[in-house]
Each structure stands twice: as structure tokens, then as C-alpha cells.
């Protein structure tokens, strides 16, 4: 029988790659989206524009239990991937209350609705390496204690604890993926990798001259989102529910990311990157690097993309998109009277 999956956050980077992966595997894919997304689909469902006739979108809000309950009551879901969240760490410092509300209550609502209506549905929670925060050991693995450093990180620890509690208390198949940073050409512009790749392309095309960044020394374990959604799927196919770290095991600084991205188009980052204190955070997570031995041995997961391939794909993709737009603008200008 065709399996039914529900993805919250289907319009985001991970949701769009996951929807593609599940459709490829023959799933009936449902997505929970905010009503505004359905009202302005050309902008808000951009990442899944090519899938719109293949997926079923349902309006609901993570802040409203009745709206979630209603969707869950209508379909007999086999799997639920809960990816929706306020996921920008800097924004969580600006408005910690909204981040906590959406991320903690939203997760609790999903779990409570599933427990009530679909206790057999397998549940994936998008945990984060931000939960390790001020890291207690290097590299970080499943047993590393959490020490979150932002309202976002705190909300993810709460979501992780809720997920484990539903597993232990109600014997539901609930798992958390502790995913380290995962990027790609569909990444939002507010995150550092996309900010860099996009600005590099703009500088190359003469549309900008400088790139303003905060902490250049922060180190992250950057993988490709396409590889990471496969790990999510694998976690829900196991015989027993468990939590897994998903990471490449390689760490690079923001500075190194800049160096590689500018080099990709033959430029020197030192001539364009400017440190702007406004982009520093009140509390920083200095170094993240994951040990994904458990995911590699138990799930058989491993990343395909290297760091260089990731940076290249992001820069080239932005260059192509912007060149097309720029070409379009130039031809519009030359054809105007």
C-alpha cells in the first residue's frame, strides 16, 4: 500500500529535498503550510514549485493545536517529519519568545495530535547541533551533554526532550536527528553560507563590492541538505526508534568558507569581506564538529558531497540565477525607448 508522509516545513530547504526523496520512493506526500503560503504560492512555495502538482498541501499553523489536529484527523499518516521551526539563531536572540512558542509548542502539538489520533505514525524531530552549544567535547556525539547558547538552541533541546518523552512514556516511534549545519542552493539568504555564495556572485557580476559578516572564526561542520534528508528517512525505517547525530566530521571556519567561495570565481576574499559588529551574536557557538559513527554503522548513511563540492554548487547556482536576472534586466533596458 502507498505510504503517506506528512512534512511540516515542506516549503523550506530540507522540506523540499525530503519531498523529492519521498516522492521518488513512491510515497504520497502531504505538507503542512501556513495559509499565507497558499495565498502567495509564487513566492512562498518557490522551492517546491516543481512539485506542486505532486504533493498535497494543507493550511495549518504550528501555533494552533486545532489546525494541526484537523489535518492529522483527515489522513492516516505512516510517517511525520516535523521540520518546521523558527530556525534562524540570530532571530531567536531578537525575539526569543516567538521562537520558543513556535518551536516548543509546535512540536508538542504535533506529538499530542499524533498520540491522540495516529499513535502508529512514526515521528521525526529536527534536532540540531546547536543543542551542543558551548561544547563539552570534540567531536560531538549522541552522548555529549547539551549546553545550548541561544533561545533557538534551548527550544531545540526542549523539542528533543519532548520527542524522547513521547517515545518512553507512550511507546511511540519517535526519533530525533541531531543534524549539523546542512546547506545548498536552496538555503535561505539569512544563513551565512548562502549570504556568502549570493554576495560572491553579486560581486563577480558587478552588482556589489563588499560582503559584511560577523564572526569569521566560528567553525561549523557543513554538509549538503540533500544528503541529510536521506538520513531522516533512514531513521524512520529502523526496527527500533533512536536518536542519531548526522554530520560530515569535518569542520571549517566562516573565513575558510569565504576563501573557497571567492576563489571559485577567481577573487580574493580579503579584498571584499568586511567585519561588521552588527552580525555578531550575544553568545556564540564557537566550534561544531560531529561524530556520526552511529548513523554510519546503524543506518548505513554517509554523505556524498565534500565541502568543496558544496561551496562550488552554491556559488555556481547563485551565479547562474543572477546572470539570468541580470541578462534579463540588461535586455529590458536596451529594449526600452
State the nearest-atom distance from the C-beta of 317 to ligand G4F, in Å: 17
Annotated active-site residue in 17, 109, 152, 269: 152
335 is catalytic: no
**How far apart, in whole angstroms, are the C-alpha atoms of residue 145 and residue 154?**
13
DSSP 295: I
Question: Residue 118 or residue 195: which is nearer to ligand G4F going by CB?
Answer: 195
Closest to ligand G4F by CB, 27 vs 222, is 222
Q: Which is nearer to ligand G4F, 65 or 191 (CB)?
A: 191
Active site includes 128?
yes
User: Among residues 77 and 127, whose Cβ is nearest to ligand G4F?
Assistant: 127
235 vs 218: CA distance, rounded Å: 29
Question: Counting beta carbons within 10 angstroms of the beta carbon of residue 238, is it exposed (0 to 12), middle (13 to 18) or buried (19 or more)?
Answer: middle
We find the least distance from the C-beta atom of residue 279 to ligand G4F, in angstroms, to be 4
Pairing mode, strands 174-179 and 4-8: unpaired
Minimum CB separation from ligand G4F for residue 195, in Å? 5
Catalytic residue among 16, 61, 87, 128: 128
Grid cell, residue 218, equals 566560528
Query: For residue 180, what is the DSSP state?
Result: P
Instruction: State the catalytic residue, choosing from 20, 28, 79, 130.
Output: 130
At 57, list the grid cell. Answer: 498541501
Do residues 221 and 251 lie in contact, with contact meaning Cβ atoms separated by under 8 Å?
A: yes
> Rounded to a whole number, what is the distance in angstroms from the first to the last CA of the chain?
61
Nearest approach, Cβ of 98 to ligand G4F (angstroms)? 15
Q: How far is the CB of 55 from ligand G4F (least distance, A)?
A: 23
Where on the chain is the footprint of ligand G4F (CB under 6 A)? 87, 89-90, 128-130, 180-181, 190-193, 195, 213-215, 218, 220, 254, 279, 281, 284, 288
Of residues 111 and 258, the one with the C-beta less far from ligand G4F: 258
Residue 130 annotated in active site: yes
Q: How far is CA 23 from the centre of its chain?
A: 19
Cell numbers for 90: 540570530
Q: Cell numbers at residue 11, please?
A: 516549503
Q: Catalytic residue numbers?
A: 128, 130, 152
Amino acid at each position: 500500500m502507498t505510504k503517506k508522509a506528512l512534512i511540516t516545513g515542506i516549503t523550506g530547504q530540507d522540506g523540499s529535498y525530503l519531498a523529492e526523496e519521498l516522492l521518488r520512493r513512491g510515497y504520497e506526500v502531504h505538507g503542512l503550510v501556513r495559509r499565507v503560503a497558499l495565498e502567495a504560492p509564487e513566492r512562498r512555495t518557490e522551492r517546491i514549485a516543481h512539485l506542486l502538482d505532486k504533493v498535497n498541501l494543507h493550511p495549518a499553523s504550528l501555533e494552533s493545536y486545532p489546525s494541526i489536529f484537523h489535518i492529522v484527523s483527515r489522513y492516516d499518516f505512516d510517517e511525520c517529519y516535523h521540520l518546521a521551526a523558527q530556525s534562524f539563531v540570530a532571530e531567536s536572540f531578537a525575539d526569543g519568545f516567538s521562537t520558543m512558542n513556535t518551536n516548543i509548542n509546535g512540536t508538542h502539538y504535533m506529538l499530542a495530535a499524533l498520540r491522540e489520533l495516529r499513535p502508529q505514525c512514526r515521528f521525526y524531530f529536527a534536532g540540531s547541533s546547536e543543542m551542543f552549544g558551548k561544547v563539552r567535547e570534540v567531536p560531538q556525539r549522541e552522548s555529549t551533554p547539551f549546553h545550548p547558547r541561544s533561545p533557538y538552541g534551548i527550544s531545540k533541546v526542549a523539542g528533543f526532550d519532548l520527542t524522547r518523552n513521547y517515545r518512553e512514556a507512550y511507546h511511540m516511534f519517535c526519533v530525533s536527528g541531531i543534524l549539523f549545519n546542512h546547506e545548498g542552493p536552496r538555503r535561505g539568504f539569512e544563513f551565512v553560507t548562502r549570504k556568502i555564495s549570493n554576495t560572491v556572485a553579486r560581486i563577480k557580476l558587478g552588482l556589489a563590492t563588499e560582503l559584511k559578516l560577523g564572526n569569521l572564526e566560528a567553525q561549523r561542520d557543513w554538509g549538503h541538505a540533500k544528503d541529510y534528508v536521506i538520513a531522516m528517512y533512514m531513521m524512520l525505517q529502523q526496527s527500533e526508534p533512536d536518536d542519531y547525530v548526522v554530520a560530515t566530521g569535518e569542520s571549517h571556519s566562516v573565513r575558510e568558507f569565504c576563501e573557497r567561495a571567492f576563489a571559485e570565481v577567481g577573487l580574493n576574499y580579503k579584498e571584499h569581506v568586511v567585519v561588521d559588529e552588527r552580525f555578531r551574536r550575544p553568545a556564540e557557538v564557537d566550534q561544531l564538529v560531529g561524530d556520526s559513527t552511529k548513523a554510519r554503522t546503524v543506518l548505513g548513511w554517509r554523505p556524498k558531497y565534500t565541502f568543496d563540492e558544496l561551496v562550488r554548487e552554491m556559488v555556481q547556482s547563485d551565479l547562474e540565477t543572477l546572470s539570468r536576472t541580470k541578462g534579463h534586466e540588461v535586455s529590458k533596458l536596451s529594449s526600452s525607448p
